[in-house]
Amino acid sequence: MLWLKAWLETRWRFVFLVGSILVVWLAPFWITATGVVHSGVPAVKQWMGIQLGSVLLYIFTAIYLAGSGVNSQTMYSATSGFHGSMFFTLSLPVSRRRLLFVRAGLGAIQSSVLVAIMAGYMLFLRPEATSALQVLEYMTRAVSCTMAVYALSVLLACVLDEMWQMYAAILCCTAVFMLQQRFTVISRISPLRGMSLIAYPLTAPVPWLPVAASLVMIVVFLGASVLVLQRKEY
Amino acid sequence: MQGKELYPFMTVGQTIRFTRAFFPAWRRDLEEKYLELFRLPREKKVPKLSKGMRTQLMLLLAMTRGAELLLMDEPTSGLDPAVTEDILRALADLAASSETTIFFSSHQLAEVEQICDRVCLIDEGQAVIDGELDDLKAQYRRILLVFDGEPPRALACLPGIDHLRQRGRSASLLAHMDVDSVVEGARELKPVSLEVRPVTLKELFLDHVKGE
């Protein structure tokens, strides 16, 4: 039943994201059909633009679904508006850990599915993969790196109201993006680079470091989320 | 009860099914009974319900879960008299027909008096009256006296009086426990009229808190 509740709560966000992804998917065909793009722009650059847009969409998907996944458990939105039913949820004989597990879990599944489909579509647009394994490899790293952003967003959603959680998550991603430009260490482990086909093309060696760093971040952020929720006073 | 915030994305039926899943001792018979009594439409979304209907739905969810103890904070706050009556009747029926103990706080003493077996009146964090309602009602009496002139000063010295209120030629006593001897003592002061009345919870509360 908690899964059903989480789905009912998040379904419109999911539908909105599917719509947004469809817009991104259809954009290349629309651009080609209408000749909006100057004919002098090479196809590679067009694809890179779409790839960049997709990475941004991975991040947005993670942040948006994390917000809906756990935000009704935050302190500020617990008693009013759409998320004003937290006291009712807390009155149920369910542990906070399980509540977090279900709600964050559903958002993680939704994000993973959308990111995997988007990642696959990137390869469909510019099929540089030579084997199914390569496609799987990219989907896996796109999902795991995006899940690091998702886990961070879950943690932020446990301490901040929804709007602030989104701002804070975007701010963190921007900070990581800027730091990875300056510091090689961060660049090597950054999930933002790990999820990109521009930073690591399929022809390059598999970037295990950002994937491993992402898995560590997921464990740390979700663990911290559980601790925060269990100690929170409502 | 005061928040009355249920899931806005669920219907009445979904909310009931959702809550039912967490309580193995859920009473389906009571669920049907209260749905009918409160006239709650299963297919209606929660935000479309009136405040009274939302309260009734909350009560349904609380009363059908098979709990041994229900704690309710102002369950009838802000509701119209008809809905309040339905709710009080349902609470009284539940307490009478099952093993459930209902503990509820309210500022509406008439409601408390209507359905409670045991009451505790609290003023500034202190319990001023605590006991079985029937016992309290049996123990306390209001004695109304009218005299020819000013009420005699000896009235205040009668043993067993909790509070005395005087106005002109009349006096009102709140007697506790040994009411008969207070009445006897009052008769000896030769009042023109003497009337003994049962007291309401509101009177008891006002007498104890305000000393009126």
ipTM for the whole complex:
0.71
| Nearest chain B residue (CA) to A10 | B9
Residues 6+ apart with CB under 8 A from A82: A72, B8
| Nearest chain B residue (CA) to A92 | B22
Question: Which structure tokens are listed for A191?
Answer: 């999930």
Integer Cα distance of A164 and B72 in angstroms: 34
Question: Which structure tokens are listed for B65?
Answer: 């879960």
CB contacts, 8 Å: B6 with chain A:
85, 88
Integer Cα distance of A117 and A138 in angstroms: 11
Residue numbers of B between 19 and 58 with CB closer than 8 Å to A: 19, 21-23
- pLDDT tens digits, B139-186: 888 889 898 888 888 887 878 787 888 888 898 888 887 788 888 888
Q: Torsion angle of alpha carbons A123, A126, A131, A137, nearest 10°?
A: -30
CB contacts, 8 Å: A85 with chain B:
5-8
Burial class (CB in 10 A: 0-12, 13-18, 19+), A79: middle
Give the per-residue SS3 of B59-112.
HHHHHCCCCCEEEEECCCCCCCHHHHHHHHHHHHHHHHHCCCEEEEECCCHHHH
Contact A84 B3 (CB under 8 A): yes
Question: Which structure tokens are listed for B14?
Answer: 């979904």
- pLDDT tens digits, B90-107: 888 888 887 788 888 888
pLDDT band at A37 (very low <50, low <70, confident <90, very high): low
**What pTM value is reported for the model?**
0.74
- pLDDT tens digits, A4-24: 888 888 888 889 989 988 887
First to last CA, chain A: 23
Cα distances (angstroms) measured from residue B166 to each of B77, B147, B155: 35, 11, 10
Contact B6 A88 (CB under 8 A): yes
The structure tokens 């939105």 sit at A77
